[in-house]
Structure 1
Amino acid sequence: MEKITVSKLLQMKHKGEKIAMLTAYDCRTARLLEEAEVEIILIAASLGASVLGYENSVRVTVQDILHHAQAVARGASKALAVADMPFLSCEIDRKTAVRNAGLLIKEGGAQAVKVEGGLAAASIIKELVKAGIPVMGHVGLTPGALRRFGAYKLQGATEEEAGKILTEAKILEGSGVFAMILECIPSDLAREITRKISVPTIGIGAGPHCDGQSLDIDDLLGLGDEPKPKFVKQYANLRPQMAAAVRAFRHDVREGLFPAPEQEYNVKKAAA
């Protein structure tokens, strides 16, 4: 796979080539995604629940994202690594936002950051872009909206809501984002936004008309045990396979079947 850059993603949009984005939080997974030619790897704040055991993403810190971004950067050198800006990492003031985003780029090894929100995020995004930091936008069902609703809820279902999301998308485009996540919105609205803005759109539960699609790696592989949103397609069911392997190991240890002779090291004794 050739090196993925912001310019390359824009070329893909213009050529009608679909973009794939998945989450990763460690070196091994990042390497696997790059081998599969996934263009964008997102170090998402959802790692709080899936990796760190937090109840939600609110407790995730910049240091948490930094740690996992570094691991991803070690595993993938060609995919575009995008680091999530966690809760309150860029909302306090512009100086703090630039410092935190710069840390994720300079020390974390990410090539870009993701900032959620529409009009409220526009001024922050402009400051980050001005500082030379590529920014991915996020409209529709953002993590902040998910915290308010407590569950996945379709956004843009009414004409008024749809108009607001379209306006937000245009505002983010004008603020300088290089790409934009459209999450949990009607397919027709996603198609309209994709046609009317010049930057690539990445859909999460936004239908087939976006320039690219994204899923959480745990959902894709069937590693989680929590209920999955309607838009998730599970490509494997690894959780029961992993559990079965662990139970088999425990059984073999208890029964004295592991290690077997083929797992032993033996030294030949010298002849007397």
Structure 2
Amino acid sequence: MHTMTPLLKKQQAGEKLVMLTAYDYPSAKLAEAGQVDLLLVGDSLGNVILGYDSTIAVTVDDMVHHARAVRRGAPNTFMVVDMPFASYHGSFDRTLDAAARIFQESQADALKLEGAGDILTTIRRLTDAGMPCVAHLGLTPQSVGVLEGFKVQGKSLAAAEQLIADSLAAEQAGAKMLVLECVPHPLAKRVQELLTIPVIGIGAGPDVAGQVLVYHDILTYGVGRLPKFVKAYADWNTSGTEAIAAYVKEVKAGAFPELAHSFMMDEELIGALYGGTKE
């Protein structure tokens, strides 16, 4: 298990923290090779891996399955795993069962929970049970129906003050980090100034401890229109489609496979296959 200590030392030294989502063995392996500081096994896997139109359908089973693959691909990187929709609401016994299963079976280093209010009490109780937690405020995708869509949060004074209060309460509840999504840059900056824990922003501007983006977004891999806050660093949609099309074309034309891609056998054995010596 990895601790927060190396990450906090980087924050204290003024080094930005870099988090990236990962959902399987190859994405985790690439992310670790690229030297990200943290991995997030997000319930966004429902959108980018499973093809759902939201994260609501993602289950505890899904999270465990994918997080275990990520851990195998990135054994040396701090890994945060989302608790999926409705797995941490209702009775605490039920929440504890779901959290313990994700934490133990995936070898997670921390669990991420969206929201404030009663959720902060849950964060405190899970922390007391030995499971570090990351809070997630601002735009919380699991509550997008209540928030009436994917909109920037904290734009009014009242909303901004509430976000600040919730952020402070999250730290007081024992959250080890705070993910802040889709909030105005000056508000995110103020939140980080008031907190000692790292704030990891996504669509929250540059003045926080670190950034997180979705693996498929930064690579333009299987996704369409990107959110405003995303910068694409590659175009795997184009390069991947072109590569597949080239493969199809060569197979159809008989250009692949060549002998260089084939295995050979002794000439006598070849002859035997034809009932004698093959000329």
Under TM normalisation by the shorter chain, which class is it? over 0.9
C-alpha distance after superposition, 1:48-99 (max 9, x if no partner)? 1111112211010000000000001101111111110000000122111111
Moved over 3 A (4+): 147-151
CA contact (8 A) 1:4 1:39 kept: no
Determine which of 113, 123, 126 is the counterpart of 1:125. 123
Determine which of 200, 217, 220 is the counterpart of 1:219. 217
C-alpha distance after superposition, 1:161-199 (max 9, x if no partner)? 100000000110011000000110111111111011110
How big is the shift at 1:5? 2.3
TM-score by length of 2: 0.93
Alignment partner of 1:210 is 2:204: no
How big is the shift at 1:149? 4.4
Q: 1:143 corresponds to which residue?
A: 141
Distance 2:60 2:4 in 1: 23
Q: 1:159 corresponds to which residue?
A: 157
Alignment partner of 1:229 is 2:218: no
CA contact (8 A) 2:182 2:202 kept: yes
Distance 2:7 2:168 in 1: 18
CA contact (8 A) 2:160 2:187 kept: yes
Alignment partner of 1:86 is 2:74: no
Could you say what secondary structure the match of 1:148 adopts?
coil
Alignment of 1:51-200 (within 5 A): 51-149=49-147, 151-200=149-198
How big is the shift at 1:150? 5.5
CA contact (8 A) 2:180 2:199 kept: yes
CA contact (8 A) 1:21 1:39 kept: yes
Identity %: 36
Determine which of 3, 27, 30 is the counterpart of 1:5. 3
Q: 1:45 corresponds to which residue?
A: 43
Give unpaired runs (5+ residues) of structure 1: none
C-alpha distance after superposition, 1:208-243 (max 9, x if no partner)? 001000100000001133221110001111111101
Q: 2:274 corresponds to which residue?
A: none
How big is the shift at 1:114? 0.3
Give unpaired runs (5+ residues) of structure 2: 272-276
- How many residue pairs get aligned? The number is 270
How big is the shift at 1:12? 2.0
How big is the shift at 1:27? 1.1
